[in-house]
Chain A
């Protein structure tokens, strides 16, 4: 178990950007029988999602979110010492997208940049890295850009995945300041590697064959370059790990669920989050949701939910709990001491 506590660092500001194109799940008649569509929408809680145009990447959404954050908070580009880009849909395999973003955002050449690759749990791990660098001597500010465009790696004829995923980019500014303690508990279980996977890569080299769409289990269609998810295994993983992770974090930090102002879950699906709320006995009005508007945006979903639902709610001192879980398998929770966090509302690309 990695249990990490940071002192005197926190989230100063946060922003998010989504594509302007809306896709409605009520229009999924080609994929799901008409009589089941409404029930499916109610269960997963996703009415609509934002899908990036073919020429819009996660980095573009993050770039715009970062510009907004810097404008709203008068952040000078050369005050940022570290830029992290967390995504599994980067622009290229080489070079790292964070390098491109350093140049586009006009950050100094003294900026340390690198990419982080994780699934839906990614924001928790990347935020912990941002807190770690911000804690170090010589670093004033860390800009964490977390964005995903799963629409580019999910087949439109995959009824497990396509109704769920949406695209988004976010920016989080972490810096030193008069903040209380923040604690992260981060976990990994690589024995579950097959629950969520894109088969083709280096171990299974990409060939013309990999691009062919084939009928897979239960009539789902996908190529080896697209995401496969065993929905039942991922669900079992999440319901058995996430409530325990949150309870453990509360116990380790001598807090109760009553001390938490807001609990932000990775927006996987509504059914699952409702299960967590019930299991943790937290009042639902402290659990913000944006899944009905944006779907599951993978690791971007935690900061997107904050930008969408908590604008103006994080003034003064607040205790924010967040929890993420996904491919790897990988999961984590964090309890953050927030102070006057400036949350910019969601903008469109």
Chain B
């Protein structure tokens, strides 16, 4: 798994945000489009693409997309 791929999956979940603006350092909760429903689609994406269980506290405890990626990575291995 790669960080670039994870960022692409994340960017695909957004409808109104330009994918080119999504980076590893993006603070996802500051995105105008961020909402509790987008959070659910992140959890669904992580389940589908990585077969990893992601909890509410994982999202609440993360700031950047790389933070999310690192949690997923630690559970895949």
Contact = CB atoms under 8 A, between A and B. Distances in A.
Contacts of B43: 232, 235-236, 239
A240 B56 contact: no
A232 B59 contact: yes
Interface string A253-283: 0000000000000000001100100010000
21 contacts: A39-B37, A44-B37, A160-B36, A230-B56, A232-B36, A232-B43, A232-B56, A232-B59, A233-B57, A235-B40, A235-B43, A235-B44, A236-B53, A236-B54, A236-B55, A239-B43, A271-B40, A271-B41, A272-B40, A275-B44, A279-B48
A272 B43 CA distance: 11
Interface residues on B, range: 10 to 19
Given A235-B43, A239-B47, A43 B56 contact: no
A31 B55 CA distance: 25
A232 B40 contact: yes
A231 interface: yes
Nearest to B40: A235
Contact of A232 (B47, B48, B55): B55
Interface of B is mostly: helix
Nearest to A195: B56
Given A239-B44, A275-B44, A40 B37 contact: yes
Nearest to A230: B56
Contacts of B39: 232
Given A233-B55, A236-B55, A240-B53, A271 B37 contact: yes
A275 B43 CA distance: 11
3 closest cross-chain pairs (CB), A and B = A232-B56, A233-B56, A43-B37
A137 interface: no
B17 interface: no
Interface string A31-57: 000001001100110000000000000
B35 A36 contact: yes
Given A239-B43, A240-B47, 20 more contacts: A39-B37, A40-B37, A43-B37, A231-B36, A231-B40, A231-B56, A232-B39, A232-B40, A232-B43, A232-B55, A232-B59, A233-B57, A235-B40, A235-B44, A236-B47, A236-B55, A239-B47, A271-B40, A272-B40, A275-B44
